[in-house]
């Protein structure tokens, strides 16, 4: 009787180890991919900013058009963020 309980305990431990091993491998994949993805995101951000600065330097009228749009977008974002935080606190 004691032997059968031991076998069930070992099977239960093996299942836990499989789950832990799977979780460990998933975390390992994240550890490898996050730095790569961050590098790609920073490259895209730098590339976008370089294009915007180049266009603004060559065509100043476009800059005068986009500044109010960017400002309105920032104001809307702050307003909705404040409303969302206020809704979460209720």
For the segment 29-80, what is each residue's pLDDT rounded down to a tens digit? 778 888 889 999 999 999 999 998 898 889 888 888 888 998 999 999 999 9
Q: Total domain count for the chain?
A: 2
From 81, 58, 80, 62, select the one nearest 70 (Cα to Cα).
62
**Domain around 18:** 1-58
Question: What does the DSSP assignment read for 70-89?
Answer: HHHHHHHHHHHHHHHHHHHH
Token output for 27: 């975390």
**Per-residue DSSP letters for 27-70?**
HHHHHHHHHHHHHHHHHHHHHHHHHHHHHHHH-HHHHHHHHHHH
Q: In terms of domains, do 43 and 67 share one?
A: no
Overall pTM surpassing 0.75 (yes/no) = no
Residues 46 and 67 both lie in one domain: no
Q: Does residue 8 sit in the same domain as residue 27?
A: yes
Same domain, 48 and 73: no
């Amino acid at each position: 009787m004691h032997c059968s309980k031991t076998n069930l305990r070992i099977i239960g431990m093996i299942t836990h180890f499989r789950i832990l091993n799977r979780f460990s491998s998933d975390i390992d994949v994240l550890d490898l991919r996050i730095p790569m993805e961050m590098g790609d995101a920073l490259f895209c951000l730098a590339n976008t900013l370089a294009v915007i600065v180049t266009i603004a330097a060559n065509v100043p009228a476009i800059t005068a058009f986009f500044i109010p749009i960017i400002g309105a977008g920032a104001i809307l974002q702050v307003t909705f963020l404040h409303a969302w935080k206020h809704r979460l606190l209720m």
